[in-house]
Amino acid sequence: MTDEPLLDRVLRPYKAHCRYLRSADVTVRDDGPAAVQGAFAIPESCYIDDTGHLNSVEVNICYNQMMYYLVAKSVQDGLGPGFADWTLDDFFEHQLPDILIARFTSAFRRPVDPRSFSGEMAFRSVTRRSPGGGPPFLHAETAFRYWDAGTGRCDGEATLAFVNLL
């Protein structure tokens, strides 16, 4: 069930016409870390004339919105060891400057209708690292996918780095 006040706060940095995530449900799987499933709608692209299908820029924006909500919900509800020491205030302070996408790949299997589609994203792993004795950061491997009511499908993976840890 969507935590509407939390979703609203997570999406606050986005311009109103770029708030694509409409609802989100976070689950913790028995065999792994937390995951989120969301409903999206993109009535009009924020940067290009209508292509008639979800494109790579929108895939990335939707991923960010799902990921931010999943991290915020994980912090709020104490899900996953990577964020155990964080508060929601910590998350919102670090949301934009300190959560980095280090690698992002997506593959379009069939065109996805951007007007109404679903997506999910899951952490595969979250580990604390201090390479070469440098400052510690969280390294997170994630996977995501999108689909529509027809045959549309897109999936991918992203590696995140959470820097300037508390």
Q: pLDDT tens digit string along 124-148?
A: 999 988 888 889 899 999 999 999 9
Q: What domain range includes position 85?
A: 4-162
Please tell me the number of Cα atoms within 13 Å of 127 on its side-chain side. Answer: 7
- Write down the mean pLDDT value for the chain: 93
pLDDT confidence of residue 29: 74
Q: Mean pLDDT lowest for which of 29-43, 115-129, 143-157? A: 29-43
Closest CA to 91 of 103, 79, 106: 79
Residue 38 reports pLDDT greater than 70: yes
Instruction: Quote the number of domains for the chain.
Output: 1
Q: pLDDT tens digit string along 13-37?
A: 999 999 999 999 999 877 668 899 9
pLDDT confidence of residue 8: 98
Q: Which residues contact 1 (CB under 8 A, 6 or more apart)?
A: 25
pLDDT confidence of residue 31: 62
Look at phi and psi of residue 164 and say left if phi exceeds 0, alpha if psi is from -120 to 50, else beta.
left
Which tops the pLDDT comparison, 61 or 82? 61
Closest CA to 69 of 36, 102, 100: 36
Domain harbouring 36, CATH code: 3.10.129.30
pLDDT confidence of residue 165: 79
% of the chain residues with pLDDT over 70: 98
pLDDT confidence of residue 166: 63
